[in-house]
A and B are shown apart, each in its own frame.
Chain A
Amino acid sequence: MPVLQNFIPNGLSKKLRSSPQCVVLGVLLLGVSLLAVPGDVIAQVDGQVVYNQWCAGCHGEDGAGAGPAANTMLPRPRDFTLALYQVRTTSSGELPTDADMLKVINEGMPGTAMPGWEGVLTEAERLALVDYLKTFSRFFQGDPPTPLDFGRATSGGADAIARGEEVYQMVECWRCHGEQGRGDGESAPTLNDDTGFPIFAADLTENWRFNGGGEVGEIYRVLRTGLDGTPMPTFSDIVDAGVITNEDLWSLAHYVRSLSPEEEPSVEEVVTAKLLTDTPLPQTVEDVVWEGTERFYVPLSGQIVVQPRWFNPRVDAVWVQAVHDGRELALLVSWGDPSESPDTLWTDFGGQVVTTMGSEDEGAATGSGTADQLVVQFPQQLSEGPERPYFLQGDIRRPAYTWTWQSDIAGAVESIARGMGTAARQPDSEQHVRATAQHADGQWKVLFVRPLDTGGAEDLALTAGQAVPMAFQAWDGDNGESGSQGAVSTWYFLVLGQPTPVAVYVAPPVALALTLLFGLLVVRQAQVRSGMWQEPDAAARAKRAAKRKQLAGMGVGVIWLGIAFGSYQNSRAGWEAGYADLGFWWAIIGGLLAIAGLGALIGTWIHTRTSK
């Protein structure tokens, strides 16, 4: 009764179950349920109908995971007849609970073709699916499975993460997932799932793509239960055997979580190249400048427009960083790729991938082992309007200007392309881009450097402040990718930061001076009131003066608040333009002004009230 235990505290449920009152309670509840709403309100959902409409396309009507669309997918859709489920709260080899199955239907399987259905199907439909999926295997006819007791989640923090890293080394996660967790361990190229298909070791730096979820509790669950049907084993036995403690396993989960960014990266349309004024332009991928330079996340997907197509891209995203010094642009592109293709250790894996994908497209790759590749593309010419070249390396009307880097050739090549695979190398006199690359711990870093204006007639000139369309394409040769069979992005914009306008530096001191001036005025008025600046004569005059002071005080307060608002706007603009220092100082000024303004208003109010 795992589900019951979820609803009723453990002790209570035991007590309940062993008593005759239990049955009475159940019957009563059932009775209440039947009385509460007329039966015709409940929709009778046929799980088979829902399944055949929404699931059979991939999983097949017979549930064996070989629907019409299955061939374009790796990992393949689940074969329900085997009753092997990755996402479970139960021991390795146990069946999932209904709640486990519902979780996957609701949320999908990140990093695979399986979408979440929570917003698409009604709850009744999704529950009916759970029941229907269970009819595909006789294993579900037995007793329902019991979820594991996960113990208390530990709080994270630096100590837990440090301990987790020790556990990562000790239980040898790196054998598949690699030292830095990018799925590049020595056993990674030999991994197959239970049905014999090649399977990647998860890249632990991308927790938003973890099967079963990327938060600490979900990672812990995978460590405890394993991912059945895959090479990922359970680590429950080593806790039971006392090799590590349950707390250690939680620490491991915290460590794995810490390998990914705190938030799933958001996609920004604009990549800003910061202007370097007092630092030289970085010439290597390891330059410290990159540590302080914002990273932009650019997701890629398989190229499925031009034949031959590719449905199984290894590179799911690239990270882009850019700086310039007014003369040259430096563009650093990083992405996860477990091997430096061609790597003989990965030849078999790539071959299996190509065989599994079994593309029937003309010209499709028949083997793997080509080089890794990256193409950065721009329009050959900037258009006045919103038009951009076709995202797959342009067309006849609007050619693309491309930088191509390849893992087996030093440097990069500038070309003009009029469609996928048509890139024509520009003459030597027009080759201006330099590239350096580094592959370490399952990650490529490629640095492109090019003069902003090459003077070349066919080269795109880059001007500060101008938005230049930019797109990326990447290939992993050891994954059987080459030609049009690779990963592509849509268009983004590259904007080169401009020198900060003089006004930005002048305005803050002016505002400060004004603040000071108004402040002095208020102080003086206060001193007048306290008698230090005694008016020469007469109560009537004093009354008029009081009225005047009240208006002045209120006025000053309102003006200050107005200026504070202006400072806030400046601050926001500063942050958004990537000038954190300006944003910060404007925020300080705005804050001080707001305090002063409010102070003036409240002070005047108190002052005039008491004087009455």
Chain B
Amino acid sequence: MIKKCGELRNTALLLGVFVIAGCGGGDGGGDAGAADTAPAESPVDAATAGNVAGMVTFSGTPPMMAEINMGSEATCAAKHSTAPTEEGFVGGENGGLANVFVYVKEGLESLSFPTPTSAVVLNQDGCTYRPHVLGAQVGQDITLRNSDGLLHNINASPTENRGFNVSQPVDMETNRSFPVAEVMIPVRCDVHGWMSSYIGVVDHPYFAVSGPDGSVSLDGLPPGDYVIEAWHEQLGTMTSNVTVTTGGTADMSFEFTEAMAGSPVPMGEPIDLLHPDGHQAVDH
């Protein structure tokens, strides 16, 4: 009898809590609370803005990248004129280092930027991610595109954001976005073990990925002092302090070296507010 009574009581309690919690919510949504503390949106004055430009280079013996055997995927293999290799390290002419994500790490705290309405594209073409390293702004749509017409899954495993694992068995597009800044978010395809990509998500538009010649630039920065970070998936990170003057182009250069191979490569570190001491860093 007591048990039955207890059950009834629990049901009533639960219902009561649910009803109250559900009240007043409506369909409004929208996170208004953040507005109080967040910096006001501050468009940059193009007339006073400056640039940062430079090179990312590598000195030493470049690591050999293994050839990818796409024998099982004739469709993909046919899309490559030369034998595809893994992309953990892509060097260019004159010691240039490609696929380095370069972004303003510090110096923009007082500004906030609107979310771009256009999407960035992560294309799966020839069983390879194009681009291999991609930048996006917080909340910006990332279009996941399958151009191969065969099964890919896009498995993103961030730590600051929630991940996703989407299947695309045919030519199609799917949009996803990340609400929190995170450098970097690894992306892989489990169907094709060689496919990997990294997405850098920042809360401003000042990011770039070094090209095949190692050149990189961040344009339209308001004058001021900045810490710029360069991230490479095998060589870790380097930072550089630059001062941007009105209309000027500040120089930045990052020289990664052979000795940095195997350095810790930071990904978004998980934050655990409730168990700050019990927290264990995830080993990447």
Q: Is A395 part of the binding interface, using a Cβ–Cβ cutoff of 8 Å?
A: no
Interface residues of B in 5-24 (CB under 8 A from A): 5-6, 8-10, 12-13, 15-24
Q: Is B147 part of the binding interface, using a Cβ–Cβ cutoff of 8 Å?
A: no
Contacts of A238 in B (CB 8 A): 167-170, 172
Contacts of A172 in B (CB 8 A): 150-151, 169, 191
Shortest beta-carbon distance from A555 to chain B in Å: 55
Contacts of A95 in B (CB 8 A): 162
Q: Is B237 part of the binding interface, using a Cβ–Cβ cutoff of 8 Å?
A: no
Q: Is the CB of B20 within 8 A of A93?
A: no
Contacts of A241 in B (CB 8 A): 172-174
Contacts of B16 in A (CB 8 A): 26-33
Scan A51-93; emit 1 where CB is below 8 A from any B CB, else 0: 0000000000111101000000000000001101000000111
Shortest beta-carbon distance from A180 to chain B in Å: 18
* Set A7, A186, A228, A231: member contacting B163, Cβ < 8 A: A228
* Set A33, A82, A243: member contacting B170, Cβ < 8 A: A243
Contacts of A230 in B (CB 8 A): 165
Q: Is the CB of B273 within 8 A of A141?
A: yes
* Set B6, B150, B282: member contacting A37, Cβ < 8 A: B6
Q: Is B279 part of the binding interface, using a Cβ–Cβ cutoff of 8 Å?
A: yes
Contacts of B275 in A (CB 8 A): 62-63, 81, 135-136
Question: In the complex the two chains form, what is the Cα distance from A194 to B283 in whole Å?
Answer: 11
Q: Is the CB of A17 within 8 A of B24?
A: yes
Question: In the complex the two chains form, what is the Cα distance from A535 to B46 in whole Å?
Answer: 129
Question: In the complex the two chains form, what is the Cα distance from A186 to B10 in whole Å?
Answer: 51
Scan B165-187; emit 1 where CB is below 8 A from any A CB, else 0: 11111101110000000000000
Interface size on B, residues (CB 8 A): 55
Q: Is the CB of A84 within 8 A of B274?
A: no
Decide yes or no: A191 and B190 within 8 Å by CB, A233-B165, A234-B164, A238-B167 being known contacts: yes
Q: Is A512 part of the binding interface, using a Cβ–Cβ cutoff of 8 Å?
A: no
Question: In the complex the two chains form, what is the Cα distance from A34 to B192 in whole Å?
Answer: 57
Shortest beta-carbon distance from A397 to chain B in Å: 50
Q: Is the CB of A81 within 8 A of B162?
A: no
Q: Is the CB of A233 within 8 A of B153?
A: yes
* Set B22, B156, B157: member contacting A1, Cβ < 8 A: B22
Q: Is B255 part of the binding interface, using a Cβ–Cβ cutoff of 8 Å?
A: no
Interface residues of B in 237-277 (CB under 8 A from A): 270-275
Q: Is the CB of A30 within 8 A of B20?
A: yes
Question: In the complex the two chains form, what is the Cα distance from A82 to B72 in whole Å?
Answer: 34
Which of A3, A91, A170 has the most chain B CB atoms inside 10 A of its CB? A3
Scan A40-52; emit 1 where CB is below 8 A from any B CB, else 0: 0110000000000
Scan B135-165; emit 1 where CB is below 8 A from any A CB, else 0: 0000000000000001101111101001111
Q: Is the CB of A29 within 8 A of B12?
A: yes
Q: Is B35 part of the binding interface, using a Cβ–Cβ cutoff of 8 Å?
A: no
Question: In the complex the two chains form, what is the Cα distance from A37 to B282 in whole Å?
Answer: 46
Shortest beta-carbon distance from A514 to chain B in Å: 58
Q: Is B193 part of the binding interface, using a Cβ–Cβ cutoff of 8 Å?
A: yes
Q: Is the CB of A82 within 8 A of B18?
A: no
Contacts of B26 in A (CB 8 A): 17-18
Shortest beta-carbon distance from A339 to chain B in Å: 15
Q: Is A338 part of the binding interface, using a Cβ–Cβ cutoff of 8 Å?
A: no
Residues of B within 8 A of A (CB): 2, 5-6, 8-10, 12-13, 15-26, 72, 150-151, 153-157, 159, 162-170, 172-174, 190-193, 270-275, 278-280, 282
Q: Other than the known A235-B167, A238-B170, what 11 A-B pairs have Cβ atoms closer than 8 Å? A: A16-B22, A26-B15, A30-B16, A31-B16, A82-B159, A92-B165, A135-B275, A172-B151, A186-B72, A187-B193, A237-B174
Residues of A within 8 A of B (CB): 1, 3-4, 7, 13, 16-18, 22-23, 25-34, 36-37, 41-42, 61-64, 66, 81-82, 84, 91-95, 135-139, 141, 170-172, 175-176, 186-187, 190-192, 194-195, 226, 228, 230-235, 237-238, 241, 243
Q: What are the 8 closest A-B residue pairs judged by CB atoms, nearest first?
A: A231-B190, A29-B16, A190-B193, A26-B19, A30-B16, A26-B20, A172-B151, A33-B13
